[in-house]
Structure 1
Protein backbone atom coordinates (compact mmCIF):
# COMPACT_ATOMS: atom_id res chain seq x y z
CA UNK A 1 0.00 0.00 0.00
CA UNK A 2 2.92 2.34 0.63
CA UNK A 3 4.04 2.24 -2.99
CA UNK A 4 0.56 3.15 -4.24
CA UNK A 5 0.31 6.05 -1.78
CA UNK A 6 3.67 7.41 -2.89
CA UNK A 7 2.68 7.20 -6.58
CA UNK A 8 -0.61 8.94 -5.91
CA UNK A 9 0.98 11.65 -3.76
CA UNK A 10 3.60 12.46 -6.40
CA UNK A 11 0.98 12.50 -9.15
CA UNK A 12 -1.30 14.76 -7.12
CA UNK A 13 1.62 17.02 -6.26
CA UNK A 14 2.61 17.40 -9.92
CA UNK A 15 -0.98 18.09 -11.01
CA UNK A 16 -1.56 20.56 -8.17
CA UNK A 17 1.59 22.48 -9.03
CA UNK A 18 0.77 22.48 -12.72
CA UNK A 19 -2.75 23.76 -12.01
CA UNK A 20 -1.38 26.39 -9.65
CA UNK A 21 0.77 27.80 -12.43
CA UNK A 22 -2.41 28.48 -14.40
CA UNK A 23 -4.47 29.49 -11.37
CA UNK A 24 -5.41 32.94 -12.59
CA UNK A 25 -6.99 31.43 -15.73
CA UNK A 26 -8.63 28.51 -13.99
CA UNK A 27 -11.95 28.11 -12.24
CA UNK A 28 -12.11 26.05 -9.06
CA UNK A 29 -14.47 23.59 -10.79
CA UNK A 30 -11.92 23.02 -13.57
CA UNK A 31 -9.11 22.49 -11.06
CA UNK A 32 -11.18 20.04 -8.99
CA UNK A 33 -12.32 18.16 -12.10
CA UNK A 34 -8.76 17.91 -13.43
CA UNK A 35 -7.50 16.61 -10.09
CA UNK A 36 -10.38 14.10 -9.82
CA UNK A 37 -9.82 12.78 -13.35
CA UNK A 38 -6.07 12.48 -12.82
CA UNK A 39 -6.48 10.72 -9.48
CA UNK A 40 -9.07 8.32 -10.93
CA UNK A 41 -6.81 7.54 -13.89
CA UNK A 42 -3.81 6.98 -11.64
CA UNK A 43 -5.75 4.67 -9.32
CA UNK A 44 -7.06 2.66 -12.27
CA UNK A 45 -3.53 2.41 -13.70
CA UNK A 46 -2.21 1.17 -10.34
CA UNK A 47 -5.02 -1.39 -10.13
CA UNK A 48 -4.44 -2.66 -13.68
CA UNK A 49 -0.68 -2.86 -13.02
CA UNK A 50 -1.38 -5.01 -9.95
CA UNK A 51 -3.54 -7.39 -11.99
CA UNK A 52 -1.01 -7.63 -14.83
CA UNK A 53 1.96 -8.14 -12.50
CA UNK A 54 0.06 -10.78 -10.50
CA UNK A 55 -0.95 -12.61 -13.68
CA UNK A 56 2.62 -12.47 -14.97
CA UNK A 57 4.21 -13.62 -11.71
CA UNK A 58 1.70 -16.38 -10.91
CA UNK A 59 0.67 -17.32 -14.46
CA UNK A 60 -2.97 -17.11 -13.36
CA UNK A 61 -5.63 -14.50 -12.89
CA UNK A 62 -6.10 -13.31 -9.31
CA UNK A 63 -8.69 -15.09 -7.19
CA UNK A 64 -11.69 -13.16 -5.93
CA UNK A 65 -9.97 -12.62 -2.55
CA UNK A 66 -6.76 -11.46 -4.24
CA UNK A 67 -8.75 -9.11 -6.46
CA UNK A 68 -10.46 -7.59 -3.40
CA UNK A 69 -7.06 -7.09 -1.77
CA UNK A 70 -5.75 -5.41 -4.92
CA UNK A 71 -8.77 -3.10 -4.99
CA UNK A 72 -8.36 -2.24 -1.31
CA UNK A 73 -4.65 -1.61 -1.80
CA UNK A 74 -5.05 0.51 -4.95
CA UNK A 75 -8.05 2.55 -3.94
CA UNK A 76 -6.99 2.75 -0.29
CA UNK A 77 -4.25 5.11 -1.47
CA UNK A 78 -6.91 7.82 -1.66
CA UNK A 79 -6.44 8.43 2.08
CA UNK A 80 -3.02 9.89 1.32
CA UNK A 81 -4.52 12.81 -0.60
CA UNK A 82 -7.58 13.58 1.52
CA UNK A 83 -6.55 17.14 2.42
CA UNK A 84 -5.98 18.32 -1.18
CA UNK A 85 -9.33 16.84 -2.18
CA UNK A 86 -11.04 18.65 0.71
CA UNK A 87 -9.40 21.96 -0.21
CA UNK A 88 -10.26 21.66 -3.89
CA UNK A 89 -13.84 20.73 -2.99
CA UNK A 90 -13.92 23.68 -0.59
CA UNK A 91 -12.84 25.97 -3.40
CA UNK A 92 -15.73 24.71 -5.52
CA UNK A 93 -18.45 24.43 -2.88
CA UNK A 94 -17.61 27.13 -0.34
CA UNK A 95 -15.60 29.53 -2.47
CA UNK A 96 -12.29 29.16 -0.67
CA UNK A 97 -9.44 30.93 -2.43
CA UNK A 98 -8.00 28.59 -5.07
CA UNK A 99 -4.42 29.85 -4.54
CA UNK A 100 -4.68 28.95 -0.85
CA UNK A 101 -5.98 25.51 -1.81
CA UNK A 102 -2.96 25.04 -4.09
CA UNK A 103 -0.49 26.16 -1.41
CA UNK A 104 -2.00 24.13 1.42
CA UNK A 105 -2.28 21.09 -0.85
CA UNK A 106 1.37 21.34 -1.88
CA UNK A 107 2.56 21.58 1.73
CA UNK A 108 0.23 18.78 2.81
CA UNK A 109 1.42 16.49 0.03
CA UNK A 110 5.09 16.98 0.94
CA UNK A 111 4.25 16.27 4.58
CA UNK A 112 2.26 13.20 3.45
CA UNK A 113 5.36 11.89 1.65
CA UNK A 114 7.33 12.21 4.87
CA UNK A 115 4.58 10.51 6.89
CA UNK A 116 4.36 7.60 4.44
CA UNK A 117 8.15 7.22 4.47
CA UNK A 118 8.25 7.34 8.27
CA UNK A 119 5.54 4.71 8.45
CA UNK A 120 7.50 2.43 6.13
CA UNK A 121 10.81 3.01 7.88
CA UNK A 122 9.37 2.40 11.33
CA UNK A 123 9.19 -1.32 10.54
CA UNK A 124 12.79 -1.62 9.36
CA UNK A 125 15.98 -2.50 11.21
CA UNK A 126 17.79 0.55 9.84
CA UNK A 127 19.59 2.71 12.36
CA UNK A 128 17.84 5.95 13.35
CA UNK A 129 20.44 7.92 11.38
CA UNK A 130 19.77 5.97 8.19
CA UNK A 131 16.02 6.25 8.69
CA UNK A 132 16.41 10.00 8.96
CA UNK A 133 18.57 10.04 5.82
CA UNK A 134 15.92 8.16 3.81
CA UNK A 135 13.19 10.42 5.18
CA UNK A 136 15.16 13.53 4.25
CA UNK A 137 15.93 12.14 0.79
CA UNK A 138 12.26 11.47 0.05
CA UNK A 139 11.29 14.91 1.32
CA UNK A 140 14.02 16.43 -0.83
CA UNK A 141 12.60 14.66 -3.89
CA UNK A 142 9.17 16.09 -3.06
CA UNK A 143 10.65 19.57 -2.80
CA UNK A 144 12.56 18.99 -6.06
CA UNK A 145 9.26 18.16 -7.77
CA UNK A 146 7.90 21.49 -6.53
CA UNK A 147 10.96 23.37 -7.79
CA UNK A 148 10.90 21.64 -11.18
CA UNK A 149 7.21 22.45 -11.64
CA UNK A 150 7.84 26.07 -10.67
CA UNK A 151 10.72 26.25 -13.17
CA UNK A 152 8.64 24.62 -15.90
CA UNK A 153 5.68 26.93 -15.42
CA UNK A 154 7.36 30.00 -13.93
Structure 2
Protein backbone atom coordinates (compact mmCIF):
# COMPACT_ATOMS: atom_id res chain seq x y z
CA UNK A 1 0.00 0.00 0.00
CA UNK A 2 1.38 3.45 -0.92
CA UNK A 3 2.31 5.89 1.84
CA UNK A 4 -0.56 8.29 0.98
CA UNK A 5 -3.02 5.38 1.01
CA UNK A 6 -1.74 4.32 4.45
CA UNK A 7 -2.03 7.88 5.73
CA UNK A 8 -5.58 8.12 4.38
CA UNK A 9 -6.49 4.78 5.96
CA UNK A 10 -5.01 5.89 9.29
CA UNK A 11 -6.99 9.15 9.18
CA UNK A 12 -10.17 7.21 8.36
CA UNK A 13 -9.53 4.75 11.20
CA UNK A 14 -8.81 7.59 13.64
CA UNK A 15 -11.98 9.40 12.61
CA UNK A 16 -13.98 6.21 13.06
CA UNK A 17 -12.56 5.75 16.59
CA UNK A 18 -13.40 9.35 17.43
CA UNK A 19 -16.99 8.89 16.23
CA UNK A 20 -17.39 5.73 18.33
CA UNK A 21 -16.02 7.52 21.39
CA UNK A 22 -18.20 10.57 20.74
CA UNK A 23 -21.34 8.43 20.62
CA UNK A 24 -20.20 6.65 23.79
CA UNK A 25 -19.50 9.92 25.58
CA UNK A 26 -22.82 11.34 24.44
CA UNK A 27 -24.68 8.30 25.75
CA UNK A 28 -22.89 8.55 29.09
CA UNK A 29 -23.63 12.25 29.62
CA UNK A 30 -27.25 11.87 28.48
CA UNK A 31 -27.85 9.05 30.96
CA UNK A 32 -26.15 11.05 33.69
CA UNK A 33 -28.16 14.13 32.81
CA UNK A 34 -31.39 12.17 33.15
CA UNK A 35 -30.22 11.04 36.62
CA UNK A 36 -28.54 14.30 37.67
CA UNK A 37 -30.39 14.39 41.00
CA UNK A 38 -28.85 11.05 41.99
CA UNK A 39 -25.17 11.55 41.08
CA UNK A 40 -22.45 13.97 42.02
CA UNK A 41 -19.87 15.69 39.83
CA UNK A 42 -17.03 13.42 40.93
CA UNK A 43 -18.93 10.31 39.91
CA UNK A 44 -20.02 11.89 36.63
CA UNK A 45 -16.43 12.83 35.78
CA UNK A 46 -14.98 9.45 36.65
CA UNK A 47 -17.78 7.62 34.82
CA UNK A 48 -17.14 9.58 31.62
CA UNK A 49 -13.37 9.12 31.90
CA UNK A 50 -13.65 5.37 32.49
CA UNK A 51 -16.19 5.00 29.67
CA UNK A 52 -13.96 6.78 27.17
CA UNK A 53 -10.84 4.90 28.28
CA UNK A 54 -12.80 1.64 27.97
CA UNK A 55 -13.98 2.37 24.41
CA UNK A 56 -10.42 3.40 23.52
CA UNK A 57 -9.01 0.17 24.92
CA UNK A 58 -11.73 -1.83 23.16
CA UNK A 59 -10.77 -0.22 19.85
CA UNK A 60 -7.12 -1.12 20.38
CA UNK A 61 -7.94 -4.72 21.32
CA UNK A 62 -10.24 -5.01 18.28
CA UNK A 63 -7.40 -3.82 16.03
CA UNK A 64 -4.97 -6.37 17.49
CA UNK A 65 -7.50 -9.21 17.16
CA UNK A 66 -8.30 -8.23 13.56
CA UNK A 67 -4.59 -8.06 12.74
CA UNK A 68 -4.02 -11.51 14.25
CA UNK A 69 -6.94 -12.97 12.33
CA UNK A 70 -5.92 -11.49 8.99
CA UNK A 71 -2.10 -11.65 9.18
CA UNK A 72 -1.71 -14.69 11.47
CA UNK A 73 0.82 -12.75 13.56
CA UNK A 74 1.00 -9.95 16.08
CA UNK A 75 1.51 -6.47 14.65
CA UNK A 76 5.10 -5.30 14.29
CA UNK A 77 6.32 -2.20 16.14
CA UNK A 78 5.26 0.24 13.41
CA UNK A 79 1.79 -1.27 13.08
CA UNK A 80 1.34 -1.43 16.86
CA UNK A 81 2.31 2.24 17.06
CA UNK A 82 -0.24 3.07 14.39
CA UNK A 83 -2.90 1.15 16.31
CA UNK A 84 -2.10 3.04 19.53
CA UNK A 85 -2.19 6.39 17.70
CA UNK A 86 -5.50 5.58 16.05
CA UNK A 87 -7.11 4.31 19.25
CA UNK A 88 -5.73 7.24 21.23
CA UNK A 89 -7.64 9.74 19.11
CA UNK A 90 -10.80 8.52 20.85
CA UNK A 91 -9.54 10.08 24.09
CA UNK A 92 -9.59 13.54 22.51
CA UNK A 93 -13.36 13.31 22.05
CA UNK A 94 -13.83 13.66 25.80
CA UNK A 95 -11.46 16.58 26.42
CA UNK A 96 -13.96 19.44 26.68
CA UNK A 97 -16.71 17.42 28.41
CA UNK A 98 -14.16 16.21 30.98
CA UNK A 99 -13.02 19.79 31.59
CA UNK A 100 -16.66 20.85 32.09
CA UNK A 101 -17.32 18.00 34.53
CA UNK A 102 -14.06 18.72 36.37
CA UNK A 103 -15.22 22.33 36.76
CA UNK A 104 -18.46 21.01 38.25
CA UNK A 105 -16.44 18.76 40.56
CA UNK A 106 -14.41 21.81 41.64
CA UNK A 107 -17.62 23.74 42.33
CA UNK A 108 -17.08 26.29 39.56
CA UNK A 109 -20.08 25.05 37.56
CA UNK A 110 -23.23 23.18 38.54
CA UNK A 111 -23.43 19.57 37.36
CA UNK A 112 -26.65 19.90 35.35
CA UNK A 113 -25.36 22.67 33.05
CA UNK A 114 -22.00 20.87 32.73
CA UNK A 115 -23.79 17.74 31.52
CA UNK A 116 -26.11 19.73 29.23
CA UNK A 117 -23.20 21.64 27.67
CA UNK A 118 -21.25 18.37 27.31
CA UNK A 119 -24.20 16.86 25.43
CA UNK A 120 -24.26 19.87 23.12
CA UNK A 121 -20.49 19.58 22.56
CA UNK A 122 -20.84 15.91 21.62
CA UNK A 123 -23.79 16.58 19.29
CA UNK A 124 -21.94 19.48 17.66
CA UNK A 125 -18.86 17.29 17.23
CA UNK A 126 -20.90 14.63 15.45
CA UNK A 127 -22.56 17.30 13.31
CA UNK A 128 -19.24 18.85 12.29
CA UNK A 129 -17.74 15.45 11.47
CA UNK A 130 -20.79 14.53 9.37
CA UNK A 131 -20.82 17.90 7.63
CA UNK A 132 -17.10 17.73 6.85
CA UNK A 133 -17.45 14.21 5.47
CA UNK A 134 -20.39 15.13 3.24
CA UNK A 135 -18.73 18.34 2.01
CA UNK A 136 -15.74 16.33 0.77
CA UNK A 137 -17.93 14.39 -1.63
CA UNK A 138 -18.22 15.46 -5.24
CA UNK A 139 -21.98 15.19 -5.47
CA UNK A 140 -24.58 17.89 -6.10
CA UNK A 141 -25.37 20.19 -3.17
CA UNK A 142 -28.87 18.80 -2.76
CA UNK A 143 -27.47 15.26 -2.55
CA UNK A 144 -25.00 16.48 0.07
CA UNK A 145 -27.88 17.97 2.03
CA UNK A 146 -29.83 14.74 1.72
CA UNK A 147 -26.79 12.70 2.80
CA UNK A 148 -26.27 14.96 5.82
CA UNK A 149 -29.94 14.60 6.73
CA UNK A 150 -29.64 10.82 6.53
CA UNK A 151 -26.50 10.89 8.71
CA UNK A 152 -28.29 13.07 11.28
CA UNK A 153 -31.27 10.69 11.29
CA UNK A 154 -28.99 7.67 11.71
CA UNK A 155 -27.15 9.44 14.52
CA UNK A 156 -30.46 10.19 16.24
CA UNK A 157 -31.40 6.52 15.96
CA UNK A 158 -28.09 5.53 17.57
CA UNK A 159 -28.66 7.98 20.44
CA UNK A 160 -32.22 6.69 20.87
CA UNK A 161 -31.03 3.07 20.96
CA UNK A 162 -28.35 3.96 23.52
CA UNK A 163 -30.95 5.66 25.68
CA UNK A 164 -33.29 2.67 25.39
CA UNK A 165 -30.44 0.37 26.40
CA UNK A 166 -30.05 2.38 29.58
CA UNK A 167 -33.78 2.37 30.32
CA UNK A 168 -34.43 6.03 29.47
TM-score of Structure 1 vs Structure 2, range by shorter chain: 0.7 to 0.9
Q: Does 1:48 align with 2:67?
A: no
Normalising by the residue count of structure 2, what TM-score does the alignment of the two structures yield? Answer: 0.80
Which residue, out of 13, 36, 40, partners 2:26? 13
Which sections of structure 1, spanning at least 5 residues, go unmatched? none
Q: Is the CA contact (8 Å cut-off) linking 1:5 and 1:116 kept in structure 2?
A: no
Q: Is the CA contact (8 Å cut-off) linking 2:29 and 2:115 kept in structure 1?
A: yes
Deviation, 1:94, is 4.0
CA 106–55 in structure 1, closer or farther in 2 if over 3 Å, else same? same
Deviation, 1:62, is 0.8
Which sections of structure 2, spanning at least 5 residues, go unmatched? 1-13
Which residue, out of 82, 97, 100, partners 2:110? 97
| Inter-partner Cα distance in structure 2 for 1:56 and 1:136 | 36
Q: Is the CA contact (8 Å cut-off) linking 1:110 and 1:142 kept in structure 2?
A: no
Deviation, 1:144, is 4.2
Deviation, 1:7, is 0.6
Mapping of residues 42-81 of structure 1, within 5 Å: 42-81=55-94
Aligned positions, number: 153
Q: Is the CA contact (8 Å cut-off) linking 1:91 and 1:101 kept in structure 2?
A: yes
| Inter-partner Cα distance in structure 1 for 2:72 and 2:135 | 34
Residue by residue, what CA displacement relative to the aligned partner does 1:72-101 show, whole Å, maximum 9, x if unpaired? 111112223322111111111243111101
Range with bigger deviation, 51-60 or 24-33: 51-60
Deviation, 1:128, is 2.9
Q: Does 1:118 align with 2:126?
A: no
Deviation, 1:138, is 2.6
| Inter-partner Cα distance in structure 2 for 1:69 and 1:29 | 33
Aligned-CA RMSD value: 2.1
Normalising by the residue count of structure 1, what TM-score does the alignment of the two structures yield? Answer: 0.87
